[in-house]
Amino acid sequence: MAPLTHIPLPLLPVPPSWYPGHMMKFTRMLPSLLTRTDVVIEIRDSRLPLTSINRSLEGALRKWRLERGWDPNNPARRIVDAGPCERLVVLNKRDLVPEWGMEPFRLAMARKCPDQQVIFASWQKPRDIRDLNRTLVDIARRYTHTPELNVLVIGMPNVGKSTLLNALRNMGIKGRTPKAFRTSAQPGLTQALSTRLKLSIDPLVYAFDTPGVMLPFLGQGDKGAERGVKLALIAGIKEGMYEMETLASYLLYRLNVLNPIAPAYLTLLPEGTQPTIDLEELLSQIAQRYGDDKTRSRARPLTGGCVFCQMVERRRWYFICFVRSSKRTGSSFVHCQRQRRRCETGLGEYFYHTRLGI
């Protein structure tokens, strides 16, 4: 199989500005909220461990740590230890990335940012939730003079803040607990600071859910354009701000860059197909493999967790479904909403998804 020798970056649009008023309001509130916060949990997406960092919040977090006695010259050293002041970085949705990339990334982040404790987690893995709950409880027990531990959960839109808090409450409170926060596959559902949510009774641990905050400006040139498309692919940006064909073209480019000899999408194509940089050719080959689309054109529209997997000119489909959660069942390619299958892509900066799961 001949490898691709030239993989051009597709033409990407200028990244849109999506910074509604509730995001600006929370950004302004953050310094005052931190004055009564003991632990900050910053949620990021494991699929985009660097792109999902919101650097616009770093200034307030740095000032909070300095006011609580941390050494400005050595982020790992605390000069005055009068009360809890911890920052946890939770890389959520770890079930969507390969295991081999996690430990190298954690070690790299420990060297780069010694003030941050990096934890990989997924609400679908009870062990992860139990470990995160135990971490919060241990911090609370370390400071016996503190009557309660207040946790502030922050992060970019749709990284799973509300879902993770629901899981933590279910793990930390014995018995049946109702779902505390509404969740959605689309970004922007949470638009205000929540009321306190009890995560543990002994010791007392409370948490606040917050609105997801997008970067006010995604950047200039190819770097900013790529950042916007990446966030759109994981539904971090409001749906409809990018054309589906733009997302599909960039995803094809990424998979080709990841493995020019045998890109992961070849499992979707007829046997013996060569890698391609032409999206139209790829879509036609997918339609060819999965048969005539006359019966598929009657399929109900796809909604919910899919970013794209829809018909193109009634005879083509985008080549991958991007479903946020779920495990693979069944064998249907088109009805991805009903079958709830997980497809892995190649988007992370330190590690990539290499199996399409189709």
pLDDT (0 to 100) of residue 291: 60
pLDDT > 70 in the chain, percent = 80
Lowest-confidence range among 38-52, 56-70, 262-276, 315-329? 315-329
- pLDDT value at 298 more than 80: no
Average pLDDT in the 87-107 region? 91
Confidence of residue 161 (pLDDT cuts 50, 70, 90): very high
pLDDT (0 to 100) of residue 265: 84
What does the radius of gyration of the chain's CA atoms come to, in whole angstroms? 22
Distances (CA, A) of 340 to 165, 207, 303, 304, 343: 23, 31, 11, 10, 10
Higher-confidence residue of 109 and 347: namely 109
- pLDDT value at 356 more than 70: no
- pLDDT value at 324 more than 50: no
* pLDDT single digits (tens) 242-285: 988 888 899 889 889 988 998 888 887 888 889 999 988 888 88
Domains of the chain: 21-208 (3.40.50.300), 223-339 (no CATH)
Those residues with Cβ within 8 angstroms of residue 25's Cβ, 6 or more apart along the chain or in another chain: none
Those residues with Cβ within 8 angstroms of residue 174's Cβ, 6 or more apart along the chain or in another chain: none
Higher-confidence residue of 30 and 310: namely 30
Average pLDDT in the 39-49 region? 94
Q: Show the tokens assigned to 123.
A: 């609400």
Average pLDDT in the 100-129 region? 92
pLDDT (0 to 100) of residue 5: 86
- pLDDT value at 317 more than 80: no
- pLDDT value at 13 more than 90: yes
- pLDDT value at 40 more than 80: yes
- pLDDT value at 124 more than 80: yes
Distances (CA, A) of 88 to 153, 158, 260, 276: 10, 18, 37, 42
Q: Show the tokens assigned to 28.
A: 């302004």
Average pLDDT in the 152-177 region? 92
- pLDDT value at 149 more than 50: yes
pLDDT (0 to 100) of residue 301: 37
Average pLDDT in the 107-117 region? 91
Lowest-confidence range among 174-178, 271-275, 327-331? 327-331
Average pLDDT in the 126-133 region? 95
- pLDDT value at 65 more than 90: yes
- pLDDT value at 212 more than 90: yes
Most confident of 57-66, 92-101, 261-270, 300-309: 57-66
Average pLDDT in the 173-202 region? 89
Lowest-confidence range among 110-124, 125-139, 206-220, 311-325? 311-325
3-state secondary structure the chain: CCCCCCCCCCCCCCCCCCCCHHHHHHHHHHHHHHCCCCEEEEEEECCCCCCCCCHHHHHHHHHHHHHCCECCCCCCCECCCCCCCEEEEEEECHHHCCHHHHHHHHHHHHHHCCCCEEEECCCCCHHHHHHHHHHHHHHHHHCCCCCCEEEEEEECCCCCHHHHHHHHHHHHCCCCCCCCCCCCCCCCCCCCCCCCEEEECCCCEEEECCCCCCCCCCCCHHHHHHHHHHHHHCCCCCCCCCCHHHHHHHHHHHHHHHCCCCCHHHHHCCCCCCCCCCHHHHHHHHHHHCCCCCCHHHCCCCCCCCCCCCEECCCEECCCCCCCCCCCCCCCCCCHHHHCCCCCCCCCCCCCCCCCCC
Length of the chain equals 358
pLDDT (0 to 100) of residue 306: 35
The rounded distance, in Å, linking the Cα atoms of 358 and 342 is: 8
Q: Show the tokens assigned to 303.
A: 């909604």
- At 80, which amino acid appears? V
pTM of the predicted structure, to 2 decimals: 0.81
- pLDDT value at 340 more than 90: no
Higher-confidence residue of 83 and 288: namely 83
| Upper half-sphere CA count for residue 275 (Cβ side, 13 Å) | 21
